[in-house]
Chain A
């Protein structure tokens, strides 16, 4: 079945549908990871986005039930050069196409994803539409133009958990995870460090969180524009100084905003598993896994009690910050690192240390 990907600027790619039939709009972005498509598919941070993989052969090892990052895929569409017809892996129980169909995600293959990537690289992330129903390019382009996009839209609301639940039943440290669209690996990493993880909806108030008597609060990753979730920013503002806080990705942006900073939208974002980030305190560099389109503005925090801790070596944007007085720190990248190399796990240990330190007091 034919499928079309159309961008708001009039660019049109024609390919073949390999997932669900239908039509979806979203911001079109690319990811340069060569493996880990399953983790990308199930990462809630991609809510509202159509993701193109730059690596051309996707689906080779199928879908493995253990490798989910959330309950289901959240993205609006999945774009690949070639979806593997055959899967070869002893753990796999489903082919990629089958998976997309099951979760009603539209997939398109057979398009020149490199050309698409170069287009986004020069034009920036664009609003787009992917459709198997409407095959009229003109009509699709106008639909893409009319779509809401990401800026100012609260997507967290759509991916956060409906009510509080326990990830695991016990642990030495009680950590409340403010779920803005958390990847399971964050919970897994906390649990592996003796944390008892309570996952709460993004709308949970600071008062309610403090009532749970947490040893630490984890701000998760999540989709969309951080500036659109004022209610979470307010919650975090009230938590700073009262409990150790660790933020990842959207959580980092929210912490930045709560500390009085500003965020801005990157041209086409960082999505991939090979971004070099320097820890400015140790001068060590980590190869990091990333997925973000927004970024904390360094200058907006100058003069505050904030230390810039991490820097992206490719484009010199901020990748981490720390409050000088209070136990609150965050990174823009993904130390829980699925899909990505396990270079940055030490940050979880730092979080545990700050919890221990706070407990002693």
Chain B
């Protein structure tokens, strides 16, 4: 069927900031959708609050709105752009929810906008728990016994009927947010409260648990001609009970028979038809009873998802691209399969490899959180690996995660024998799903536990367990040899099972480099095979690559052309996410523009960088020394870019340079000069730049001495980390001792850095670009929060708003001097602090920073591209970049936090980064821009009502002025005794509320009852922390906005003032940068 001509302009709602459960997979799918619709000649309007995305690049859509994803703002965009259609299925759960609400609220009807992809009825049938159950019942598909509760009482009654354990699933939430598993009545009650809270419909499904059943997913697509295809199946290694986003997943499913497969595929076809998706895709999740094959359906997601991104990367079938084209009326047989280049998308991909998805967790950042995996997703990132067999793929996956684990154990990093041999501990670790369970599974095998026993404890299918046993068996075979006498055949076999050089070194008492050299000498190196969608049946035009030791045929397509290789960032984690992928993609675009071939290496399936057409050749490989060197040897690039992918490639830079790999841009030595504290000190001295008093230490005694000399408070942290990992402000010796004990675990072989903490300083971030001769400042960002809060977690503004001209000049000069002395070629980020009119250098990072995409969006200049070209030898002058651009509008970046995933964790900010993503607010008024950023970040700031203010003693004087502003804006202020006293003395009328444990109703009651609309609460000392944590965490769980710094409170007051005066308006990025 030809594409529709009755629609011309299409609005795409995307997914907003990166949060747990909604990550850069939606940048990937949204970018594909934008490209696909433009290819078909449609005018596209995009709304997304996340500036770190490729899709919000001005060239991707015709009109790009970086605005909050809230109905109010979307309506303004609709009113302005008057699109004919809305595509809500490419922006994750956020996009889908917005589309549904706009439709239900009659806004779409008002402006004559048609929903395409999946209409409101289909969305309702899939998402509304009751309608979904009815729909499934109408086609005879079993659902777990369940009922819908809208109150706690209803939920308890249902629980009584169904029996424990019980799964709770709130309606219309993503990543299982607010979901839980209850084993008793107490857990059921708390679970229900939470679930009802977070569900926008105040609706929760109370469901019979199918814990331990196999979890199998399908990606299904249907076009308007009623053609249905199954793109792939996926099977979770962790059975039902662990959120699929937290499970290790294999594609295709491994343990289903043909008959079971066909049965499930037929159910999929029935389901997609019954739900009524006709021009799009859906994800369908089943639970299969391993004992009798009984099947129940768990849920469906009628949109692109994390799973669809994974399915796309695993098979080479671009689901989002196809879904966008189907939404405008094309059919599957009319869309070309670009990977083969010769066939159409009407087929079902077949693979000849095994794919693994493994998850990256971040429990180390939230030590108070319970590290058990359950139905609410906790993973912050994932890696995908491809191998010709299960064992190889699994081991590659583990080393892709960059946990500094280099395979399934035997890498010198296993827990001490007294733990791994502890039968009871091992059993516990198998029974309760956790992030390291797979390693404990290996200990169980080594301790002599049978496949069946392991299955009984973990419910992990014996087939998977046995595969791991085969890995463990090979480990023992290898360990019988020294490197010099290991038979070639055995070494090849071990490599074929995914053993890394580090594992082999550990097993044979050698070292990584020696193993690599030994293999090279013996010719035991991998070949490259293709992801081609067709199992080798068709010679493909645009495949991508993975390594294999099945070496009968090398399908590497390295050319003799000039080329540059880009090392990506691997799995997302806090501190290293989409921003770096954005930079890597731009590097690739720039390389191609310069007439070179772009070679991408990355392992993250969520990203645009691993899209099949971003680079000339994509290698889906772990980012470790051996994996990268193997590719370098085949491709022989003229240069390798390591400074765009975050810490991952940077950590490899030394080893690669030593192995003779040409590193492009700033030298490894310069990077080291900036990272190494001693060398850095020398550098600053030479340039006559100040830094806070500091020292280093490797022991507590030494640290004590340094801290005394500098004077408390001090900032302490390990060296060579990203995202302020294990970085804290320490106020006294007791804290310091506690820290030194913990930190040694965080980084065993590197010293601890101790800096004077600059109280109440203004923090400034500078990004600049240099071609080796000339340096241009890309943007000077002034932080809203004072120094001491990790730059990734604080809000910041371009241009600066309070710094004097002379200070800005000083900052520029310092930046130029640093760039010059470090011989920067490419990007550099500098963090400064300004205190009492004096400039201090906190940190210099001669590489891409997290702020590069934000600065690019704020200034309208693609800085990462420019930096890439500069690294390739094209001067800034040649590129027409000669001076700093200071925009006339304000762009505020705000961080987004995962606290709602970790109940009980104190959401207070500090020097260790905790945010998962960011948003941007843009406006000509700073206050309005700030408010937009807050709203986009999920802070639903009220324009009237009660606000709760309680601050520590230090802040009590300064809060007065802020409280007066809120009072003048018409808010009723509620405080506990201390703060209330101070405010009353200053003439404010305060409603007093009891502190926790000092009577009821207390603050928590007000929070739970939704009586206060905003919390301003700055953290006190250790004594008050326990209660404060309850209050702050309570606010997060009840989605009440919370501000934990004075500066944030001030900005909020000013922002509300501005909005009350001027209101909100929306404007496309293209119009800002005309």
Contact = CB atoms under 8 A, between A and B. Distances in A.
B537 A33 contact: no
Nearest to A13: B552
B553 A114 contact: yes
A88 interface: yes
B539 interface: yes
B462 A90 contact: no
A314 B538 contact: yes
A88 B293 CA distance: 12
B552 A111 contact: yes
A285 interface: yes
Interface string B580-593: 00000000000000
Contact of B343 (A88, A278, A314): A314
B348 interface: yes
B463 A117 contact: no
A280 interface: no
Contact of B537 (A67, A87, A117): A117
B550 interface: yes
Interface stretch (A137-145, A223-231, A336-344): A336-344
Interface in B341-359: 342-344, 346-354
Interface string A26-40: 000010111111110
Given A38-B258, A276-B347, A341-B348, A85 B466 contact: yes
Interface string B527-538: 001000011111
Given A56-B389, A117-B536, A117-B537, A341 B230 contact: yes
A290 to B, nearest CB: 11
B344 A276 contact: yes
B602 to A, nearest CB: 23
A112 B552 contact: yes
A278 B451 CA distance: 47
Given A55-B350, A284-B227, A118 B255 contact: no
Contacts of A117: 352, 535-537
A37 B346 CA distance: 24
A210 B146 CA distance: 58
A34 B314 CA distance: 14
Contacts of A56: 352-354, 388-389
B470 interface: yes
B262 to A, nearest CB: 6
A61 interface: yes
B291 interface: yes
A323 interface: no
A88 B225 CA distance: 38
Given A81-B550, A274-B347, A39 B258 contact: yes
A81 to B, nearest CB: 6
A128 to B, nearest CB: 15
Contacts of A84: 463
Interface string A102-129: 0000000001111111110100000000
Given A57-B389, A112-B551, A121-B537, A339 B258 contact: yes
Contact of A338 (B258, B265, B389, B529): B258
Interface residues of B, number: 56
A61 B550 contact: no
B817 interface: no
Contact of B344 (A33, A55, A88, A313): A313
B747 to A, nearest CB: 40
A244 B1055 CA distance: 81
Contacts of B348: 273-274, 287, 341
A133 interface: no
A250 B343 CA distance: 26
A293 interface: no
A114 B352 contact: yes
Taking each of A33, A57, A85, A116, which has the highest tally of chain B beta carbons within 10 Å of its own beta carbon? A57
B270 to A, nearest CB: 11
A85 B468 CA distance: 12
Interface in B314-334: 332-333
Contacts of B550: 81, 112, 114-115
Interface in B269-295: 290-293
B258 A35 contact: yes
A240 interface: no
A88 B350 contact: no
B989 interface: no
B11 interface: no
A299 to B, nearest CB: 22
B536 A287 contact: no
B229 interface: yes
A118 B535 CA distance: 9
B350 A272 contact: yes
Interface string B430-474: 000000000000000000000100000000011100110010000
A67 B347 contact: no
A278 B333 CA distance: 9
B141 to A, nearest CB: 16
Contacts of B682: none
A64 B537 contact: no
B451 A86 contact: yes
A314 B336 CA distance: 11
B254 interface: yes
Given A54-B352, A276-B343, 13 more contacts: A32-B536, A34-B252, A35-B261, A36-B258, A88-B290, A88-B462, A91-B259, A112-B550, A118-B536, A274-B534, A278-B333, A284-B227, A342-B265
26 contacts: A13-B552, A30-B537, A32-B352, A32-B534, A33-B350, A34-B535, A36-B258, A54-B350, A57-B254, A60-B463, A64-B259, A67-B259, A82-B389, A86-B462, A88-B290, A112-B551, A112-B553, A113-B352, A114-B529, A114-B536, A114-B550, A121-B537, A272-B350, A276-B344, A284-B226, A313-B344
Q: Which 3 A/B pairs are nearest by Cβ-Cβ distance?
A: A115-B553, A115-B552, A112-B552
